[in-house]
Amino acid sequence: MKTVTDGNSVKLHYKGTFPDGEVFDDSRLRGETMNILVGNGQLIKGFESALLGMTEGETKTINLTADEAYGQPKEEAIVTAPRNAFPEDFPFEEGLAVQGRGPSGQPVMAKILSFDESKVTLDHNHPLAGKDINFEIELVEIEETAE
């Protein structure tokens, strides 16, 4: 029976929940598996290490603290931007997720914390930073890798 090791390509389904059972993500709702190369840092460390040793068809539930998942929120990730950096007709709303461009042109995500006539306060922390989370992982397939 094949088991997952570093360097394997795997297909999996997962459901992410908070400790109270609220679902924040579910790959089955998107109707497709997540395809991962284990060991290349695509996933949070706790999730990726849980895959090691799993076999095809196995289901596992893991519970991660905030520090094992997306870490604690960082104060330096909260920044103020001029309101005129947004389109003139932008519909400002506290809690709204927005996407912009970083200094080198890469896309960046943020959440609007507050705004007034001249400035907008944005939170660039990951939305799950500071939260304990759980994952139910179903390993669907370990793909053969060419040696």
Q: What is the mean pLDDT of residues 5-14?
A: 95
Mean pLDDT of the chain: 93
pTM above 0.75, yes or no: yes
Instruction: Please say if the pLDDT value at position 144 is more than 80.
Output: no
Instruction: Please say if the pLDDT value at position 145 is more than 80.
Output: no
Question: Is the CATH code 2.40.10.330 the one for domain 75-123?
Answer: yes
In the chain, which residues fall in CATH 3.10.50.40? Answer: 9-70+129-143
* pLDDT score recorded for residue 133: 98
Instruction: Please say if the pLDDT value at position 76 is more than 90.
Output: yes
pLDDT per position as a tens digit, 95-114: 999 998 877 888 889 999 99
User: Is 16:134 a contact under the CB 8 Å cutoff?
Assistant: yes
In the chain, which residues fall in CATH 2.40.10.330? Answer: 75-123
- Give the whole-angstrom CA distance, residue 117 versus residue 65: 39
% of the chain residues with pLDDT over 70: 97
User: Is 2:58 a contact under the CB 8 Å cutoff?
Assistant: no
Cα 87 from chain centroid (whole Å): 28
User: Is 71:117 a contact under the CB 8 Å cutoff?
Assistant: no
Question: Would you place residue 131 in the very low, low, confident or very high pLDDT band (cuts 50, 70, 90)?
Answer: very high
CATH topology of domain 9-70+129-143: Chitinase A; domain 3 (3.10.50)
- Among 83, 82, 102, which Cα is nearest to 91's? 83
Whole-angstrom Cα Rg for the chain: 19
* pLDDT score recorded for residue 146: 54
74: β partners: none
User: Is 124:79 a contact under the CB 8 Å cutoff?
Assistant: yes
Q: What is the mean pLDDT of residues 82-104?
A: 91
